[in-house]
Amino acid sequence: MTPESFIQIKAAEAVKALYQTEIAPESLQVQVTRKEFEGDYTLVTFPLLKISHSAPENTGNAIGTYLVEHVPEIAAFNSVKGFLNLLFSPIYWDEVFAEIAADPEFGQLPATGKRIMIEFSSPNTNKPLHLGHIRNNLLGDSVSRILRAGGNEVIKATLVNDRGVHICKSMLAWQKAFKGKTPATTGIKGDHLVGDCYVAFDKMYKQEVRDLVAGGMDEETAKKEAPCLKEAHEMLVKWEQGDPEVRALWKMMNGWVFEGFDQTYKALGISFDKVDYESNTYILGKELVQKGLDMGVFVREADGSVWCDLTADGLDRKLLLRSDGTSVYITQDLGTAERRFAEYNLDEHVYVVGNEQDYHFQVLKLILGKLGFAWSDAIYHLSYGMVELPEGKMKSREGTVVDADDLIEKMYQEAKETSLASGKLEDMSPEEQERLFRMIGLGALKYFIIKVDPKKTMLFNPKESIDFNGNTGPFIQYTHARIRSILRKACAQGIAFGPADVTTALVPSAKEIRLIKLLGLFPGKVAEAVEALSPAVIANYAYELAKDFNQYYHDTPILREEDGALLRFRLVLIDTLSRTLRTAMNLLGIELPERM
């Protein structure tokens, strides 16, 4: 039972006893006491004045006096206007902690019966994953874990953008400049080789534009008339017509990319329950376009292109099919959404996509609504800010990106150097050290990105993320390892402990009550993270818990405690702290080591 629920129930009993009126406990407003007032939780008494027929402070004083006299868990109170601030006794915190310590699934919320699909990653097969993709993947994976902890059934999905003119650009560049080169012959990871082709196309295109301008053509026309761009569009048309040669090249190069993606996903600890490919789903979208035309929602222009006029909704006209019959992104998104809701009977669908696509998802929901799909309101765009570097924004076509594979390796090297410099790993085997370096490096990367609110643009600094002090993943990992070390020493000394060692006969110290209060907040933090779809809520909670433990450890003897009952209580406390840290960090996809 949460502190809020406990107070609601006891306050309802007080109202019945004092004013002979029954009220529903859940109708009472209870909140954490503001820092400037003394108390743990505050009961808002304004709504009770019509029952008490008394002034706000008098009503608060009457209820507060009753609670102190009849509820041993309430130690004191003060009434300020319409707010009754209540202070819990150590007995209450013992009871709370006993419940937490005995609950192996502490932090897991009750089942909601909801089925939610969350789509993330959704890469293009014309380039390797980069730092921006890492934020997307980490957010998507963590939000999926948090939604599951929130009691929902979650389906992790990705839609691979494996067709389109951008893919054809890489294919064309391979034909013109890379033909014969493969990952096997070059030793280059498949997605990196295809990404090199994409960069090469951009250079080729810009040169052709310059040549046309030098020949007297204006720049805007030159950008449309560049021969390689036209060839890429012709290749897309051939692909949609099923041209065997184009399809064979497409299949070969995409195969290289998929193999490369799988390696990166594995390194990040990312997996999916459902993988869709745009090469399959774009056809579904075309069927919906025909439905929209039949309904009069869409219009076909004289050149054969199909549009949806959204100007009456405050937006623009949206292209759905080009004049040559080829589809655009929105086309396949329409079809994929319809199939997913029908196939999985979804209650919600969350898309994790950067904020540069805000307009796209506004349009998607609007068009689906116009097509008569009532579930269009169940679509949510988790819009997140871009990741920037000290040098500024990244550009894929120019090759100025932070490659995901390179970054993962860099974090590993940073973790290795920092850990070896500590001089505490001599008794670890090389295999144990290797696993630890990977765990720390990945934990540093994930935490540094996830601790920032998704809606905010963030600046990434690898060196800062690996710091073993401050609000970082390694700091929390080290805290956990420190707790596990104490517990190992206790076991080596033959000290047995468990939840039964938490009794109301013990009076926790102020610092221990502070830790119990923090532990008690965890389910509420999970609920808050679910509501906001923000892993940052959990990340910053884990940091506060780790920080408070370190202060407690600095000020409090644990293994040196001579009182056996108090020693066992403290061991249960820190064991529960380590378990809660593991649960919280697991929601972020971060492992915590036993030793560091």
For residues 40 and 173, membership in a common domain is answered with: no
Establish if 562 belongs to a structural domain: yes
458 and 575 in a single domain? The answer is yes
d(Cα 573, Cα 307) in Å, to the nearest integer? 63
d(CA 341, CA 375): 8
- Determine which helix (DSSP H) or strand (DSSP E) holds 325, and give its type and residue range: none
At position 451, the amino acid (one-letter code) is K
- Is 222 among the domain residues? yes
**Rounded to an integer, what distance in angstroms lies between the CA atom of residue 144 and that of residue 450?**
13
Residue at a domain's end among 72, 88, 104:
88
Q: Are 369 and 140 in contact (CB under 8 A)?
A: no
> Structurally, how many domains does the chain consist of?
3
Number of helical (H) and strand (E) elements in the chain, helices listed first: 22, 14
Burial of 36 (0-12, 13-18, 19+ CB in 10 A): exposed
Q: Which of 231, 253, 268 is the last residue of a domain?
A: 268
Is 60 exceeded by the pLDDT of residue 399?
no
Do 174 and 79 sit in the same domain of this protein? no
Q: What is the pLDDT of residues 211-223, one digit of tens each?
A: 999 999 999 999 9
434 and 574 share one domain: yes
- Same domain? For 183 and 68 the reply is no
φ, ψ of residue 88 in degrees (nearest 5): -75, 150
- Any domain includes 19: yes
Cα dihedral 567/573/575/577 (nearest 10):
-150
Whether residues 264 and 175 fall in one domain? yes
Among 450, 462, 483, 441, CA closest to 585: 450
Across the range 563-572, mean pLDDT stands at 93
Report whether pLDDT(400) > 60.
Answer: no
What percentage of the chain has pLDDT greater than the value 90? 75
Q: Tell me, yes or no, whether 225 lies in a domain.
A: yes
The verdict on residue 388 lying in a domain is no
Residue 508 inside a domain? The answer is yes
Q: What percent of the chain has pLDDT over 70?
A: 97
- Whole-model pTM: value is 0.88
Segment among 426-435, 461-470, 486-495, 556-565 with least mean pLDDT: 461-470
Longest dimension (CA), the chain: 94
Q: d(Cα 145, Cα 590) in Å, to the nearest integer?
A: 11
pLDDT, mean of residues 158-185: 92
Find the domain containing 51 and state its range: 3-88
What are the percentages of helix, strand and coil residues in the chain, rounded to 5? 60, 10, 30
Give the angle subtended at the CA of 476 by the CAs of 474 and 479, to the nearest 5°.
Answer: 110
Residue 424 included in any domain: yes
Residues 192 and 403 sit within 8 Å (Cβ to Cβ): yes
Packing angle, helices 56-70 and 3-19, rounded to 10: 110
**Average pLDDT, integer, range 141-147:** 98
Same domain, 55 and 189: no
3-state secondary structure of 166: helix
Compute the distance between CA of residue 15 and CA of residue 559 in angstroms, rounded to an integer: 47
For 56-80, write each residue's pLDDT tens digit: 999 999 999 999 999 999 999 999 9
Q: What is the pLDDT of residues 511-553, one digit of tens each?
A: 999 999 999 999 999 999 999 999 999 999 999 999 999 999 9
Q: How far is CA 249 from CA 179, 239, 442, 461, in A?
A: 11, 10, 35, 39
Asked if residue 174 and residue 49 are part of one domain, the reply reads no
CATH number at residue 50: 3.30.1360.70
How many other C-beta atoms lie within 10 A of the C-beta of residue 279?
21
Same domain, 581 and 443: yes
Residues 558 and 421 in one domain: yes
pLDDT exceeds cutoff 80 at 261: yes
**What CATH number does residue 518 fall under?**
1.10.730.10
423 against 249, higher pLDDT: 249
* Domain shared by 52 and 167, yes or no: no
CB 140 within 8 A of CB 354: no
Clarify whether residues 71 and 191 are in a common domain. Answer: no
Domain end call among 236, 268, 300:
268
Contact, 448 vs 422, CB < 8 A?
no
The answer to the question of residue 242 being in a domain is yes
